[in-house]
Amino acid sequence: MTVTDDRPSAVLGTRLLRREDPALLTGEAKYTNDLDLPGALHLAVLRSPYAHARIVSVDLSAAQASPGVVAVYSGADLAGEWASPMPSAWAVTADMKNPAHYPLASSKVCYVGDGVACVLATSDVAARDALELIDVRYEPLPAVVDLEDALSDRVVIHDELSTNSSYTWDLKIEGTEGQVEQAFADAAFTVKERYVQQRLIPMAMEPRAVAAVPQPFGGDMVLYSATQIPHILKVMTALTLGIPEHQMRVIAPSVGGGFGSKLDVYAEELLCVALARKHRVPVRWNEERGEGTVATTHGRGQIQHVELAADADGKLTAVRIRLLADMGGYQQLITAGIPILGAFLYAGVYDLPQAYDFSCTGVYTTLTPTDAYRGAGRPEATYAIERAMDALADQMGIDPMDLRKRNFIRKEQFPYTAFTGLVYDSGDHLAAAEMAAEMADYDGTRARQKAQNVPGAKKLLGIGQASYFEMCGLAPSRVLASLNYSAGGWEAATVRILPTNKVQVVTGTAPHGQGHETAWSMIVADKLGIAPGDVDVLHSDTALAPLGLDTYGSRSLPVGGVAIAIACDKVIDKAKKIAAHQLEANEDDLDFTGGAFTVKGSPDRTMPLAAIAFEAFTAHNLPDGLEPNLEAQVTYDPPNFSWPFGTHICTVEVDTETGQVDVLQYVAVDDCGVQVNPLIVEGQVHGGVIQGLAQALYEEAAYDTDGNLKNASLAEYLVPAASDVPPITLGHTVTPSPTNQLGVKGIGEAGTIGAAPAVINAVVDALSGLGVTDVPMPASPHNVWKAIQAATNNSQGASK
Amino acid sequence: MKISVTVNGVVHESDVEPRTLLVHYVREVVGLTGTNIGCDTSSCGACSVHVNGEAVKSCTMLAVQADGQSITTIEGMATDGVLHPMQQAFMENHGLQCGYCTPGMVMAATSLLKENPNPTEEEVRLGLEGNLCRCTGYHNIVKSVLAAAAGQ
């Protein structure tokens, strides 16, 4: 018998269109706010208009009498609902100071947007109407908006801590005492810069939304939420509310983007569950954009002091970093750890000896809490080193590309044990930089720049580069343990072959735009020799996919995807036992290709997986002792982070009279190892680049001195539109990761990490002839114009 | 107030509060949740629908203003199980990721091509400036719209 198998066996690496799209394109997909929940009450939260104030009194009576209102609660009224304060999962130091934080404040508010009371009503409109009738008396206290002011403890925000400093975390490398100081003393060149990572509002297009559906007599509770982390949320909700974990089920329906802002356990999630439990009816809440800008976590918010030492050739000899990181009014889920995620990357992609001194102090301010935002710590680190490298090149009078080439870790040094002890898996930075330079016509642009940037020129040309490492795929559990993170970094997968040879994959990842259903089906199709369309991917529901650690930190493919590949291997191993039994052959003599087992050297002795699947189901003729059915579960703890890398080159023209920056060209060369689906990879890079470019040119959560967010809506906060951004030219190199069988690395954050420094380096490069050495982010026309004026005035002052 | 609105070809007679926005009417009264809400300042365009064939942000109109009008939402774009060419172009060019801005983008983009069947890349970017996307960086959205235009 000859079996012809024409099913695809190599879908990996193809531009397979996304299976997610038809539902999303037709309105069929259901986001949390789309769920039809008969009888649900609507929650609305009254938020503090003060950045810092004592709550003197809360009068709920008028609101209680408002039409449609079922109940109104102050923070004090709900104190009995919480088994513990809101979770903070990352105590970065043993002595970290972290104030107790509850879903509603009862004695003091610590940022504009802090919840003080809530209404339950029969409609969203009725609930929001009633908010206006709640009378809260406040005793305003001074706001703390500036990080250095916060550090001074002029005003202490949390009385019980007696300081605004939450922690100081140092990266000390044993046995290297004195080396940094010596390197600076011996240096031919040193650079000392101060950079500010402005606060950013993540602005996922879907605002947050929550619905809690109780089963009053059965005791179960289902929480629907627009979250990136259904699994973590389940554990944290159970703990915070004292609900037995097995009675909590969390479902993330379609989720409209997250970028880190939905990697959290929020007050509204806890309130909905608490009130659904209390009232025995479903309770739902949907965020208005205007409240989301203050009530959803912000990103970045750092002051960076960066020092580099280099020898006469420009070879880096030491790096010293002092960070001040803005926690906001409280810590959310992993607030404290965000700057620490960047702590290992301040030497960038360069071959640095063991002379590294890093310290970060986290301080409280009276602003919206910060937490993860696309890249989380790593864009900040990359910005600092890549801006400082340009400063060093400027000081040495050499081309920044040349300086980088002198310092890159070379291809043959991989796997590279860094000064921190971390092992960088694979890379070829020179190749990526050279490819980007060629695509961007780097040398030609330099020549044009020389011709264009003459004294008196109105429009100046600039070219900027950033070379980066992503350090992602969070993460080896033991490394997370060493950082005092409260969870592991594994991921779970189950692969189940159904009787008719269709496949169910259960994953612990929780996609919210990344196309996991498509990508995971490709991995399985490739492994099992079946069509991707025969694979169903179950996810984002803790009852269907009970084990998982969710989606963030570019971890889904290098951890979750690899777990699926390993589960496929286990299923194939079991199927092979059945095939060997039925073909009367040794397992060792069987090949598995194209979805069928064949006896080596006897192509006619073959058995397709479809036949084995049915045999495994009927269990009529299985080897002795073998369990029926084909299913394997795997929990995979990665041995290392994955280290994607690349070089981005941005070309800009700056109008010296208006300060307007026009991006003429943006080239991104990224290497994420083996690409499962280049279509999806490209999309991730495009989006990431524009988010990084938006930090560089447009976005900033701007506060007044009283702690009011001045741009608390999408009308004022500049998320760029299509007309504000350039097309992106992509290239890629492929350097497989040796640490996993697929050779893959993450790609979700790479674009964002590379973009901000590339853009700002280009802007500063354009203006360098005027004496400008730095432009703060965002490089808005006003900020650029001010930088030009300051430099021009300086040089005029100097010439007098 | 009593209103009669044709939504995706079906006449709906309803009694709505005068302050009800068209988007809330479409989502909550008619029950078509494909039209998404992304902001409260008419900035994001996620709620774009067609009113008498022209793209309108449905948060900028009251439901009562739609009385007697014909509304098309994203649910009315595919016919007989076949995606509208613009939806197909978005799929083929990976013009969407999380999908939240997508219904509004598709409605705005089809309206754009109606006004300007052969736009340049620059015209597509300007034409979509009222619709925000946070995932795609717009690169593939622009590509999708140009592909849809070329395929007309």
pLDDT tens-place string over residues A3-40: 344 434 489 999 999 999 999 999 999 999 999 999 99
Residue A486, H or E segment: none
Give the other-Cβ count within 10 Å of A639's Cβ.
12
**Domain limits of chain A?**
21-28+490-636, 32-141+207-255+262-295, 299-474+640-799
pLDDT of residue A358: 97
Token pair listed for A477: 């559990």
Query: What number is the average pLDDT over the span A572-597?
Result: 96
Contacts of A289 in chain B (CB under 8 A): 38-41, 44
- Taking the Cβ of residue B133 and every Cβ of chain A, the question of whether any pair is shorter than 8 Å is answered with yes
User: Burial level of A381, CB count in 10 A (0-12/13-18/19+)?
Assistant: buried
Contact A688 B73 (CB under 8 A): no
CATH of domain A21-28+490-636: 3.30.365.10
Residue B80 falls within a domain, yes or no? no
Query: Tokens 């974990």 correspond to what residue?
Result: A245
pLDDT at A798 over 80: no
Domain that holds residue B20: 2-74
| B90 and B69, same domain (yes or no) | no
Establish if B79 belongs to a structural domain: no
φ/ψ of B12, rounded to 5, equals -115, 120
* A797 — pLDDT class (breaks 50, 70, 90): low
β pairing state of A416-417 and A423-424:
antiparallel
Domain check: are B101 and B139 in the same one? Answer: yes
Assembly ipTM: 0.99
Sign of the CA dihedral B14, B19, B20, B22? Answer: positive
Q: How far apart are the first and last CA of chain A?
A: 96
**Residue B106 C-alpha, separation from nearest chain A C-alpha, in angstroms:** 8
Peptide bond into A415 cis (omega under 30): yes
- Could you tell me if A117 and A72 are in contact, meaning their C-beta atoms sit under 8 angstroms apart? yes
- Chain A CB within 8 Å of residue B1 CB: no
Whether B62 and B98 map to the same domain: the answer is no
- Residue A686 near chain B (CB below 8 Å): yes
The domain tally of chain B equals 2
Are both B101 and B62 inside the same structural domain? no
Which of A621-635, A686-700, A783-797, B10-24 is predicted least confidently? A783-797
Asked if the C-beta of A30 comes within 8 angstroms of chain B's C-beta atoms, the answer is yes
Domain boundary among B52, B74, B96: B74
Quick one: tokens of A657?
Answer: 């009279």
**Tokens at A757, concatenated:** 């420094």
d(CA A353, CA A719) in angstroms, rounded, equals 40
Burial class (CB in 10 A: 0-12, 13-18, 19+), A162: exposed
Flag whether residue A516 sits within 8 Å of chain B, measured between CB atoms. no
Q: What is the CATH number of the domain that holds B23?
A: 3.10.20.30
Is B20 within the bounds of a domain?
A: yes
Chain B residues in contact with A686 (beta carbon < 8 A): 136-140
Residues B91, B68 within the same domain: no
The answer on pLDDT for A800 being more than 60 is: no
Answer yes or no: do B92 and B57 share one domain. Answer: no
Does A20 reach chain B within 8 Å, measured CB to CB? yes
Q: What percent of chain A has pLDDT over 90?
A: 95
With tokens 């890093």, the residue in question is A358
Query: Does residue B47 sit in the same domain as residue B93?
Result: no
Residue recorded with tokens 């600039």: A462
- Judge contact between A74 and A106, C-beta under 8 A: yes
Say if residues A671 and A646 touch (Cβ distance below 8 Å). yes
Distance from the Cα of residue A779 to its chain's centroid: 23
Mutate to test the interface with A, among B134, B136, B141 (most CBs of A within 10 A): B134
Domain at A32-141+207-255+262-295: CATH code = 3.90.1170.50
- Omega before B55 cis (within 30°)? no
* In the predicted structure, residue A599 carries a pLDDT above the cut 70: yes
Tens of pLDDT, residue by residue over A343-396, are 999 999 999 988 999 999 999 999 999 999 999 999 999 999 999 999 999 999
* CA gap A149, A142 in Å, rounded: 12
Task: Answer yes or no: do B92 and B48 share one domain.
Answer: no
* Min distance A626 CA to chain B CA atoms (Å): 43
Residue B36: list chain A partners with CB under 8 A: 31, 205-206, 256
Nearest by CB to residue B126, choosing from A29, A686, A723, is: A723
Taking residue A584's Cβ as centre, other Cβ atoms within 10 Å add up to 8
Contact yes or no for A477/A639 (Cβ under 8 A): no
Q: Which residue of B has its CA nearest to A202?
A: B134
Residue B104 lies in a domain: yes
What pLDDT is attached to residue A10?
A: 81
Q: Do residues B89 and B144 both lie within one domain?
A: yes
Domain boundary at B15, B45, B74, which? B74
Residue of A19, A25, A373 to mutate for B, most B C-beta atoms under 10 A? A25
Q: Which residues of A touch B34 (CB under 8 A)?
A: 26-29
- Average pLDDT value for chain A: 96
Do B8 and B70 share a domain, yes or no?
Answer: yes
Tell me the DSSP string of B21-78: BHHHIIIIIS--TTS----SSS-S-TTEEEETTEEEETTSSBGGGGTT-EEE-GGGTS
CATH second-level architecture of A299-474+640-799?
2-Layer Sandwich (3.30)
> Mean pLDDT across the stretch A521-546?
97
Altogether, the residues listed in chain B come to a count of 152
| Distances A364 to A48, A323, A380, A400, A791 between C-alpha atoms, Å | 17, 14, 19, 37, 34
Per-residue pLDDT tens for A77-89? 999 999 999 999 9
What is chain B's alpha carbon radius of gyration, rounded to the nearest angstrom? 15
In angstroms, the separation between the Cα of residue A569 and the nearest Cα of chain B is: 30
**B139 and A20: CB-CB below 8 Å?**
no
Q: Are both B70 and B93 inside the same structural domain?
A: no
Residue A349, φ and ψ in degrees, nearest 5: -100, 30
Predicted confidence at residue A7, as pLDDT, reads: 39
Chain A positions touching B32 (Cβ under 8 A) are 27
- Rounded-to-integer distance, Cα A303 and Cα A755, Å: 19
Cα A705 to Cα A128, A366, A750, B53: the distances in Å are 28, 11, 34, 47
CA-nearest residue to A35 within chain B is B33
Q: What is the DSSP string of B79-132?
A: BTTB--HHHHHHHHTT--SS-SSHHHHHHHHHHHHHH-SS--HHHHHHHTTTS-
Same domain, B106 and B54: no
Mean pLDDT along residues B27-33: 97
Asked whether this chain's domains A21-28+490-636 and A32-141+207-255+262-295 adopt the same fold, the reply is no
| DSSP symbols for A274-289 | HHHHHHSS-EEEE--H
Quote the pTM value.
0.97
**With an 8 Å Cβ cutoff, is B29 touching chain A?**
no
Domain boundary among B74, B107, B132: B74
Q: What is the pLDDT of residues A387-433, one digit of tens each?
A: 999 999 999 999 999 999 999 999 999 999 999 889 999 999 999 99
**B51 inside 8 A of chain A by CB:** no
